[in-house]
Chain A
Amino acid sequence: MRWFNNKDTLYGFLVILPSLVLLGIFVYGFIFQTFYTSLTDWGKDPAQALAANPQIRFIGFENYRELFTGLVDSRFRQDLVNTFFFTVFFILGCLGVGLGLAIVLDRSPRGEGFFRTIFLFPMSLSFIVTGTIWRWMLQPEGGVNQLPTLVGLPKGEFAWLTSREQIWQVSWNDLPFITALVVSVVLIFIAIAAFRGGERRRGYIASGSAALLLLWAFTLGRTLQPLPYDEPHGFNLAFIGIILAAVWQMSGYTMALYLAGLRGIPEELREAARVDGASEWQLYQRVIFPLLAPITLSAMIILGHISLKIFDLIFAMAGPDNAPTDVPALLMYLTTFRANQIAKGAAIGMILLLLVAAVIVPYLYSQLKSEVRR
């Protein structure tokens, strides 16, 4: 027990012990319990779903299998696709609008402080408030749809939150194949970057796994069919309204991040680039944007985990029953508390946790690694 000989270490350990215990029980304990619940049949038998002492049987990964390949769970699969498109457009929108606003404000126009506050203000609202405001504005008969009439055009007809139109449809059965393709393209890019940077070993590993994955995709991947029939899923146009509201709320935040980053770039660097004859566009392209890359990464992580677990905004904007704008978090609530399918709700929760972990863990890992290096 040499470790405890150091008094400071002991005190330090004692001080963080309470929070360790609390975190252990209330975060990791419950994650484990949810995981266990998701492997049971809790809720399958109505007589046991809400009994005082329910008899619950262990059934392995049956709930997960049903979610991905069951006939009645097509809604969950569409929700996953919804989340994917929502995440992509939400992050792109916030980064684009945020960066644009930050660049404009960075040039210190008049009333900069005023506009900064205006742009940042939506972030201080809760998602429920944002959702309610935008719900009113996006009513089919009012708000945004009435805007064209101000300039004499016919009023808009788009059913913002309830449209059933779907574009970019893909059969669920093609997903394994498409995923493999996308991953191998990413791997090929990594390989090219590695060869260019002189990291040969890394390059070989990346290109080798890309080749393997492609081989699998074109042979076995084509025959892997989760469903016995084609089930099209795509981007629900009803989500455009949700994306608008979410970008409106969070782009001020990315603007603040970028503004801080821009202000952190020393004036000397810009001067030096200008002296070297760089045009204004080259200055941004070659000097400023590369220096903002870490900020972009942080913003993507933060926005990404918000969009994956989004619940309140959509609950307030469209209600939990509006299927065109459904996401897994809402479905989890409905499955657990309305349909009493507690184990299946837990399974959806675990899938959400995995998705968020896939975004967060690599980020934390790289952050910790760089801190240790320091």
Chain B
Amino acid sequence: MKKLFLSLAALALSTMGLAQSGKLEIFSWWAGDEGPALQALIDLYKKRYPNVEVVNATVTGGSGVNARAVLKTRMLGGDPPDSFQVHAGQELIGTWVVADRMEDLNALFNQEGWMTKFPKGLIDLISYKGKIYSVPVNIHRSNVMWYVPAKLREWGVQPPKTWAEFLTVCQTLKSKGLEAPLALGENWTQQHLWESVALGVLGAADYANLWSGKLRFNDPKAVAVWNTFGRVLDCANKDASGLSWQQAVDRVLEGRAAFNIMGDWAAGYMTTTKGLKPGEGFGWAPAPSTAGVFMMLSDSFGLPKGVKNRTNVLNWLRLLGSKEGQDTFNPLKGSIAARTDSDPSKYNAYLQSAMRDWKSNRIVGSLVHGAVAPESFMSQFGTVMEIYLSSRNAQAAANAAQAIATQVRLGQ
């Protein structure tokens, strides 16, 4: 009887799926290494809705640098893709939600029971005026410090817990002949380092206040971030701007540097490309002074207004938010599920530790990866960084940051 019921249910499901037809265009920048993860999701979607033609529109370029420009011309030209990838948080809200281009998804979240499945800290970051506009697919952590345990033992140092400790360890390593204990890469990785320093120096509450406009960038507390940042930079390699983030990680693996602060896609690089075992070949700790805080970034998909295949998009979003969808995608992508009920056995040792932190830690958002500030601020933050790097003047950088924050109406 139970079997009959099950097969009936399956039949009902499949006919429901068969009833859906038409097209679904998915716009993303998951082309290279991330391609297989996206393909797995698309395959899953096709299995459920075989009559829907899925158009996989990808524009290459890490972090969506090129895809976002293409997306903007398409949206301005009145040709929105059915669903597009966007960093969850302000990158979506500050650009598309405030421009009234997205439909809110509160109904979908309630209907699927997702309000309790995603952590509240995440829901807060992706909401605008009490409404949710995108479905987060994965979670990456920004504030992670990577090292090689064997090398640290050789040098006789422990992974530092605070930035003050970090600077002491840095001096120790320098006296042992290590020229640049911190490996750093090109400009965005320098901003990436900055956000970990800012979180460590300010603490989670003030860090969040920075983005809501409650703490000004030229406040002495925020100026202090630049001072610490400068001292941390003195521990880094001088040829940073010429290195990609992978090359910076390589420096650590080769033993030419002790630490690297990078998002946890570095774990994917070290396990998949370099074939290292998490915990043995490489070790990790929260970036100094940020233990107990999870600085997250997330890729998400939303529902633009005026799309032709609305039902297909809603089905796609339903799949993305489901446990099955998230556990299919994330092990391949090297990230963790945004849901807190995913199955740890599918993930490697590093990701399992990240999952534990995801459930227990306080959640804040990343600046460089679009969670806490709109694109208008984010892209001009590079100018602030330039001002600091060329002048090493903390006050000048802080003033410029505040001027941009005012200009783009940050936190309003």
Contacts and interface: CB of A to CB of B under 8 A. Distances in A.
B212 interface: no
Interface stretch (B137-145, B357-365, B396-404): B396-404
B187 interface: yes
Contacts of B241: 159, 161-162, 322, 324
A75 interface: yes
Interface centre among A46, A54, A340 (most CB of B within 10 A): A46
B383 A50 contact: no
A338 B389 contact: no
Interface in A68-105: 71-72, 74-75
Nearest to A334: B379
B379 A339 contact: yes
B407 A319 contact: no
A372 interface: no
Contacts of A44: 407
Contacts of A334: 379
B242 A323 contact: no
A69 B375 CA distance: 23
A307 to B, nearest CB: 23
B221 interface: no
Given A159-B241, A162-B242, A340-B375, A321 B98 contact: no
Contacts of A51: 99-101
Given A162-B241, A340-B375, A75 B386 contact: yes
A159 B68 CA distance: 31
A206 to B, nearest CB: 41
Contacts of A162: 239-242
Nearest to B382: A321
A256 B239 CA distance: 39
Nearest to A163: B241
A69 B68 CA distance: 30
A46 B98 contact: yes
A140 B400 contact: no
Interface residues of A, number: 36
B390 A48 contact: no
A319 B95 contact: no
Interface stretch (B46-54, B69-77, B168-176, B338-346): B69-77
Contacts of A140: 239, 242
Contact of B95 (A46, A54, A161, A341): A46
A141 B237 CA distance: 13
A16 interface: no
Nearest to A53: B100
A162 B188 CA distance: 14
Contact of B386 (A43, A45, A323, A333): A323
A50 B382 contact: no
A54 B186 CA distance: 36
Contacts of A166: 390
Nearest to B66: A337
Contacts of A275: none
A214 B94 CA distance: 50
B321 interface: no
B409 interface: yes
B376 A72 contact: no
B245 to A, nearest CB: 13
B99 A48 contact: yes
A50 B399 contact: no
Contacts of A74: 383, 387
A323 B99 contact: no
Contacts of B98: 46-47
Interface string B82-97: 0000000000001110
Given A46-B98, A164-B390, A340 B376 contact: yes
Contacts of B374: 46
B408 A46 contact: yes
A209 interface: no
B78 to A, nearest CB: 8
A84 B386 CA distance: 20
A321 B95 contact: no
A231 to B, nearest CB: 10
Nearest to A45: B409
A162 B185 CA distance: 11
A338 B383 contact: no
Given A75-B383, A164-B390, A340-B95, A50 B376 contact: no
A338 B69 contact: yes
A156 to B, nearest CB: 12
Contacts of B409: 45-46
A190 B295 CA distance: 64
Contact of A50 (B95, B380, B390, B407): B95
A350 B374 CA distance: 26
A337 B69 contact: yes
A48 B100 CA distance: 9
A49 interface: yes
A146 interface: no
A45 B376 CA distance: 10
A79 to B, nearest CB: 11
Contacts of B69: 333, 337-338
A323 B76 contact: no
A162 B376 CA distance: 25
Given A46-B95, A46-B99, A339-B376, A161 B400 contact: no
A52 interface: yes
Contacts of B389: 164
A374 to B, nearest CB: 46
A47 B99 contact: yes
Given A46-B408, A139-B242, A159-B238, 7 more contacts: A46-B94, A71-B399, A72-B404, A75-B386, A161-B242, A322-B186, A323-B187
26 contacts: A46-B95, A46-B98, A47-B100, A48-B99, A49-B95, A71-B400, A72-B380, A72-B400, A72-B404, A74-B387, A75-B386, A139-B242, A159-B239, A161-B241, A161-B242, A164-B390, A166-B390, A321-B186, A323-B386, A324-B241, A338-B69, A338-B378, A339-B379, A340-B72, A340-B375, A340-B376
The 8 closest A-B pairs by CB, nearest first: A162-B241, A337-B69, A338-B379, A51-B99, A339-B379, A47-B98, A50-B99, A140-B242
Interface of B: 65, 68-69, 72, 75-76, 78, 94-96, 98-101, 186-188, 238-242, 305, 374-376, 378-380, 382-383, 386-387, 389-390, 399-400, 403-404, 407-409
